[in-house]
Structure 1
């Protein structure tokens, strides 16, 4: 009932959550009117679990509390890596130039249409550069970009 962190370990609490009775088992246990001594060990255990108010939400919160610091540490590392990546991308003038060329190519290809004259594009478009073929089907927009960039 006290959810003592010194006594309960996260893996034990997760296993306990898997043992929680289903709605059908709860209904069957609540409808039982006989003596508890006639029940099997597992049924008596489930019967005792029913006596604990809001057990499932308590256990879920307890697992969250137990795993919070580890999750926070993992997320902090990811945020730090992401921050370094953003910093490096901002400093990479070659990448900025390539992205400018891709935007210019896209605007040229779309011409005066509704997608022409865009101020930006979604990064997922970069994966489509290799799929956009030339009229003779011998190369792609990615090939053109590489040749253009090497000039």
Structure 2
């Protein structure tokens, strides 16, 4: 491309070039050539790429459906939401949901004596008042494959 550019800058006639070189001159004039080639390459390889990752996609979809259909996990998340609403009741209105990232805060929120986290407390409440929820993991399938 540099040689073609230099050739043109010198003002030399394109007729002196071979047919292949004239093709390259025209080819070099295409706007956003590298992006277009990348797009065409991606489109050409897309079916093969999808076929390669289809088993992983199926595992993720199956695990997602398993999580979504788990009634015990839903109840546990409701309990966590209720605790969060209770703890924030003086600051704001009740929430109808929470981001999954905020589950990390269950480990960060500790008791005044710093011996127990909110997660430990919620687990003890579930064991004491909702023992049927302790086996929630039995409703979750394909998580190990999806985690890969």
- Say whether 1:124 aligns with 2:106: no
- Aligned counterpart, 2:110: 133
- Say whether 1:81 aligns with 2:49: no
Q: Structure 1 residues 47 and 127 mapped into 2: Cα distance closer, same or farther (>3 Å)?
A: farther
RMSD: 3.0
- Aligned counterpart, 2:17: none
TM-score by length of 1: 0.63
- Aligned counterpart, 1:108: 86
- Say whether 1:71 aligns with 2:49: yes
- Aligned counterpart, 2:142: none
- Aligned counterpart, 1:50: 25
- Cα drift, residue 135 of structure 1: 1.4
TM-score by length of 2: 0.64
Structure with the bigger RCO (C-alpha within 8 Å, sep 6+) is 2
Q: Structure 1 residues 131 and 30 mapped into 2: Cα distance closer, same or farther (>3 Å)?
A: farther
Preserved CA contact (<8 Å) 1:131 1:140: yes
- Cα drift, residue 69 of structure 1: 0.8
**Structure 2, gaps ≥5 residues long:** 15-19, 129-148
Q: Say how many residue pairs are matched.
A: 120
- Cα drift, residue 56 of structure 1: 2.8
Aligned mates of 1:30, 1:78 — CA distance in 2:
51
